[in-house]
A and B are shown apart, each in its own frame.
Chain A
Amino acid sequence: MFNSLKIKSFFIEIGELTFFAHRFLKEVFSRPFEFKELLRQCYYIGNKSLFLVGITGFIIGLVMTLQTRPTLEEFGAESWMPSMVSISIIREIGPVIIALTFAGRIASGIGAELGSMRVTEQIDAMEVSGTNPFKYLVVTRVLASTLMLPILVLIGDAIALYGSYIIENIKGDVSFLLYFNKVFDALQFGDIIPAIIKTYFFGFAIGIVGCFKGYFCQKGTVGVGLAANSAVVFSSMLLFIIDFIAVFITDIFFEI
């Protein structure tokens, strides 16, 4: 009983989110455009998560290499290290982990910001003063997170590979040139392009869920907290669903 109710409300939520995304697609291509605010949001969103993404990427690189090394050593296959680590980071671990930290930072931030603007009637105030709040607040934030996440993932991936190189250099005396030669030998377009494409969808999902939760925030301070919280939970869940679909499609087009 409890479960079926939960599942039902989940699908209702998906439906409402689809409406919201549809409205976004309608308004994103119509005048007037809020370029200045879009640039401000890009800078703000990118800048706000850059440090976190850098740290996360670096640690992923270190940990992955440290964890995998003993196993490979057992088979005398340390020389496979760079290609193995780079493929798993570029294809899966980098995009997903970095998108998750991005969701924690950005979806909750957007949810709380728009939520408190809704509760204190700032969104209504915008509407009566002739600025479309959906364009000014939602379209700019969703576009900014869609555009920024792929860049952040690229930066994060690069830092992760560098972290991995540091471990290899300490433990196995591998030079910088040798390490990255092996990395670029191993990587193919089929690894990089689908991974980048899916981060656009991740960024879109995070932005749209954060805005959706904030824009339709319940009254009161409790509502704002709830909006921020459920924005993170919902967008993280959506990330995994999108990831599964993306991997499934990639498998069809690139492997066979």
Chain B
Amino acid sequence: MKLEQNIVTESRDLSNKNLMLEIKDLRKSFGDNHVLNGFNLRLYEGENLVIMGKSGSGKSVMIKCLVGLMQPDSGSVFVMGEDITKLRQLALDELRTEIGFLFQGSALYDSMTVRENLEFPLRRHKHKFGDISDTTKIVTDALKSVGLVHAIDLMPSELSGGMKRRVALARTLILKPKIILYDEPTSGLDPITSKEIIELMRNIQKEYKTSALIITHDVDCARVVAERMILLVDGINYAEGSFNQLLQSKDEKVRAFFK
């Protein structure tokens, strides 16, 4: 009952905003491993929503269901009003251009240069830019926003971890998505590089006016970027609120995150 009220007040606060993402009662198991047991989420336009959860709690599984890389066992996933579990391939591809996905390990194509990496999403979606033949400007623009124009002809193996993450970010930006999904954007980076990436994420949100769903288990990252947070525990959205609200929670499982 209490939870119901929470959600109602919250949606009144954000009622003038558009709903970008909505997950309803998402369930997913691998054999006997019940990863998600009825997860719910709403992401509003222009918002930074952070999902926190322990390693192996199903954060990546949840975000993969969001873009159709995995099929949920049950539940529905709406992206800008369309149920992606029911979309056909072409419509799905079209909708995916509105979603940028930053993978946990950057996932750069290591047989291609930085330029080719960035051109790759354009192969099938040039029409978004009016079928231009020269993509150099689009590529350099995206690299400019992450400050790596000079790396355009390098191979991914020649880049440091932080640079790889930036290039990956540029690659997700290249189709000018409305929503960006960050899967542990700071994992595997040193604290200073992590800060730079977080700063970059904030700049990008200002520059590209995106809504962001940020998955992390890094409390420092959450403190800086979160406008609202959801804690993923036992496969459900265990607690919701602002960073400070959750910080003051008395609940044992919530407190465990901030120790």
Which A positions have Cβ atoms within 8 angstroms of B?
A: 32, 113, 116-117, 120-122, 124-131
B104 & A121 in contact (Cβ 8 Å cutoff): yes
A125 & B103 in contact (Cβ 8 Å cutoff): yes
Report the separation of the CA atoms of residues A32 and B93 in the bound assembly, to the nearest whole angstrom.
Answer: 13
B105 & A130 in contact (Cβ 8 Å cutoff): no
A129 & B120 in contact (Cβ 8 Å cutoff): yes
Interface pick from B106-114, B217-225, B234-242, B249-257: B106-114
In angstroms, how far is the closest chain A Cβ from the Cβ of B19?
A: 21
- CB contacts under 8 Å to A, within B70-122, are 93, 96-97, 99, 101, 103-105, 107-111, 120-121
19 example contacts (A-B, Cβ-Cβ < 8 A) are as follows A117-B109, A121-B104, A121-B107, A122-B110, A124-B69, A124-B103, A125-B103, A125-B107, A128-B96, A129-B96, A129-B121, A129-B124, A129-B171, A130-B93, A130-B123, A130-B124, A131-B120, A131-B123, A131-B124
- Interface class of chain A by DSSP: helix
- Interface class of chain B by DSSP: loop
Residues of A within 8 A of B175 (CB): 129
B121 & A122 in contact (Cβ 8 Å cutoff): no
Besides A120-B110, A129-B171, 16 other CB < 8 A contacts? Answer: A121-B103, A121-B104, A122-B108, A124-B64, A124-B107, A126-B109, A128-B69, A128-B96, A128-B99, A129-B120, A129-B121, A130-B93, A130-B121, A130-B123, A130-B124, A131-B124
- Report which of B109, B111, B123 forms a contact with A125, defined as CB distance below 8 A: B109
What total of A-B pairs shows CB separation below 8 Å? Answer: 48
Which B positions have Cβ atoms within 8 angstroms of A?
A: 64, 67, 69, 93, 96-97, 99, 101, 103-105, 107-111, 120-121, 123-125, 171, 175
In angstroms, how far is the closest chain A Cβ from the Cβ of B3?
A: 32
Give the 9 A-B residue pairs with the shortest CB-CB distance, closest first: A129-B121, A130-B124, A121-B107, A125-B107, A130-B93, A121-B103, A128-B101, A122-B107, A128-B67
Residues of A within 8 A of B103 (CB): 121, 124-125
Report the separation of the CA atoms of residues A116 and B111 in the bound assembly, to the nearest whole angstrom.
Answer: 11
Report the separation of the CA atoms of residues A109 and B19 in the bound assembly, to the nearest whole angstrom.
Answer: 46
Residues of A within 8 A of B105 (CB): 120-121
Q: Which A-chain residue is minimally distant from B96 (CB atoms)?
A: A128
Residues of B within 8 A of A128 (CB): 67, 69, 96, 99, 101
In angstroms, how far is the closest chain B Cβ from the Cβ of A22?
A: 18
Residues of A within 8 A of B125 (CB): 129-130
Report the separation of the CA atoms of residues A129 and B96 in the bound assembly, to the nearest whole angstrom.
Answer: 7
Q: Which A-chain residue is minimally distant from B121 (CB atoms)?
A: A129
Q: Which A-chain residue is minimally distant from B64 (CB atoms)?
A: A124
Report the separation of the CA atoms of residues A124 and B108 in the bound assembly, to the nearest whole angstrom.
Answer: 11
Residues of A within 8 A of B110 (CB): 116, 120, 122
B96 & A130 in contact (Cβ 8 Å cutoff): yes
Q: Which B-chain residue is minimally distant from A34 (CB atoms)?
A: B123
Residues of A within 8 A of B69 (CB): 124, 127-128
In angstroms, how far is the closest chain A Cβ from the Cβ of B107?
A: 4
| A120-B124 contact given A127-B69, A130-B93, CB 8 Å threshold | no
Q: Which B-chain residue is minimally distant from A116 (CB atoms)?
A: B110
Residues of A within 8 A of B64 (CB): 124
Q: Which A-chain residue is minimally distant from B93 (CB atoms)?
A: A130
Report the separation of the CA atoms of residues A116 and B93 in the bound assembly, to the nearest whole angstrom.
Answer: 24
Report the separation of the CA atoms of residues A129 and B93 in the bound assembly, to the nearest whole angstrom.
Answer: 8
Report the separation of the CA atoms of residues A127 and B109 in the bound assembly, to the nearest whole angstrom.
Answer: 12
Residues of B within 8 A of A129 (CB): 96, 120-121, 124-125, 171, 175
